[in-house]
Amino acid sequence: MSEIARLPGLVTVHEDAADLVEAVAGWLLDIEFAAITATGEFRIALTGGSTPQPLYRALAAAPWRDRARWGRWNVFFGDERACPPDDPRSNYRLAAGTLLDLVPVPAERVHRMRADLADLDAAASEYSTLLAATCPASGPAAVPRLDCILLGLGENGHTASLFPGTPALRVGDRWATRGLADYEPHDRITLTYPVLNAAAHVAFLVTGATKTEALLGVIRGTVPAAGVRPVDGELRWFLDAAAAGSI
């Protein structure tokens, strides 16, 4: 039996990236509809990296664009690099160029991590406070609960900016903290495990054959992405055939 079935949560394998995008978009907008129906709001954290770009572009076009109720979206970020928001490496810039500048989400509902500030600890603390002020509290620790968190998977098994062997992995009482990447820009801000694991719906988007070791690391519990185990929420793995076939 393929090792894929040993990933935690619900795993779906899609023929190619286009098929994966359609599946994620439908899944995401079902969550959006239910959240807005229940609370009037939809709170989502976007991931950086290259994998989500086709998804963001698809959401900004028909039919998905016309189905979403953009005025009720609250957009957060899973992590951000320590660079200006107009820097090509910025996750905010990536999301703005492929989605946020193309759809009518009110600017005040897009919550950028200010990782361009000199004091990253202050910027992380500011984001923790923002999450607490804008999201419902979950559990005895009152962890901010988002409706949906999109995540990528790095080749070393990192997710967001939770990198192997870094202090961010041990932060359990704050909702955002400094991250340290093993590639430029090294300095980051990242959501912490408590927030990832308090979410109602979490999805990893993984494509291509280069993530084999990372996926095996999740199965073995030896990489940071293995620590994403929603306490009272859904965990999904959207893989393309190349990623799934590699293990």
Q: Where along the sequence are the contacts to ligand 6PG (CB under 6 A)?
A: 47-51, 78-79, 91, 152-154, 158-161
Shortest Å, Cβ 201 to ligand 6PG? 17
**Cβ pair 190, 168 in contact under 8 A:** yes
Report which of 175, 177, 151 is spatially closest to residue 166, judged by C-alpha positions.
177
Q: Tell me which DSSP letter residue 247 carries.
A: -
Shortest Å, Cβ 38 to ligand 6PG? 28
Shortest Å, Cβ 181 to ligand 6PG? 8
Residue 34 or 219: which CB sits closer to ligand 6PG? 219
CA distance 60 to 179: 30
Shortest Å, Cβ 137 to ligand 6PG? 25
Q: How many CB atoms lie within 10 A of CB 15?
A: 10
Residue 21 or 153: which CB sits closer to ligand 6PG? 153
The identity of residue 124, as a single letter, is A
Residue 122 or 209: which CB sits closer to ligand 6PG? 209
SS3 222: coil
Residue 72 or 89: which CB sits closer to ligand 6PG? 89
